[in-house]
Amino acid sequence: MYAALDFPHAAAAFGASFLAGAINSVAGGGTLISFPTLIWLGLDSVGANATSTVAIWPGTVGSAWGYRKELRGADPRFLAMVVPSLAGGLLGAWLLRFTPPALFDLLVPYLILSATLLFMVQEPLQRLLKTADGARHRSRRWFVGSLLFQFVVGLYGGYFGAGIGILMLAALSILGLDDIHEMNALKVILGGSVNGIATVYFIWERMVHWPYVLIMAVAAILGGVGGAGTARRMGRTAVRRVVVAVGLLMAVSLFLKAH
């Protein structure tokens, strides 16, 4: 049973989503804040994951518009990765639908911890992948491998969305991209595809708590526009440290709660 949406609950959800929107516009990883907040506000873990996914997705539209210049010049083969993104995202959402909340409660701390650790090694991972032979990365074999990898990313994202942006940047690095703006533009489209198809499924299966969705969606959009300025003044390193600290804190606290 969902907790009542009184003013303290609404204010906490709004604040978490505003911060998530700002962080996503600068560093990514905002879901590590919005999702655990919903659990602490009284939603079960499956409902919190579905609600967070639906609520944060509208911010993708604004990001895609902001990257429209980079997207117009993108290689069509990268846009082909939308197909495995949609397929993986739908399968992941379907698996979440049939995961008992009690089981997901046990998995959540480990999923958050894994996403946080992945977030921590994002930049070293990108640097490592970019040092390899770029010509080799443009071969058909590497492209097919990246499509399969993107399917796995979509599967993970449909099931549990935190950290998929980091995985997609890795996939694009494997394909030989080195322009971070182009990579972020494609990440927005591919991540939006994964979360978009999951959003449709969650709504169809009535897995979301709409009072939270409406408040959080507005907050995420405002956070992406207005909060990004504050986040940029803080600097990318400071923002990343906030995400890591929150992720680790949430993982530990939810682990103690589950056990």
What per-residue confidence (pLDDT) applies to 113?
84
Largest CA distance in the chain: 57
Report how far residue 48's alpha carbon sits from residue 108's, in angstroms, rounded to the nearest whole number: 11
pLDDT tens digits, one per residue of 128-181: 665 445 555 566 777 787 788 889 889 999 998 776 777 777 777 766 676 767
Going from the C-alpha of 167 to that of each of 62, 190, 200, 205, the distances in angstroms are: 21, 11, 22, 27
d(Cα 250, Cα 259) in Å, to the nearest integer? Answer: 14
pLDDT tens, residue by residue, 101-139:
888 888 888 888 887 787 777 667 666 665 445 555 566
- Kindly list the distances between the CA atom of residue 195 and the CA atoms of 52, 102, 149, in Å, as whole numbers in the listed order: 10, 23, 17
pLDDT tens digits for range 204-222: 999 999 999 999 999 988 8
pTM score, whole prediction: 0.80
Whether 162 contacts 168, CB under 8 Å: no
Please state which of the ranges 44-53, 60-69, 86-95 shows the lowest mean pLDDT.
Answer: 60-69
Confidence class for position 1, pLDDT limits 50, 70, 90: very low
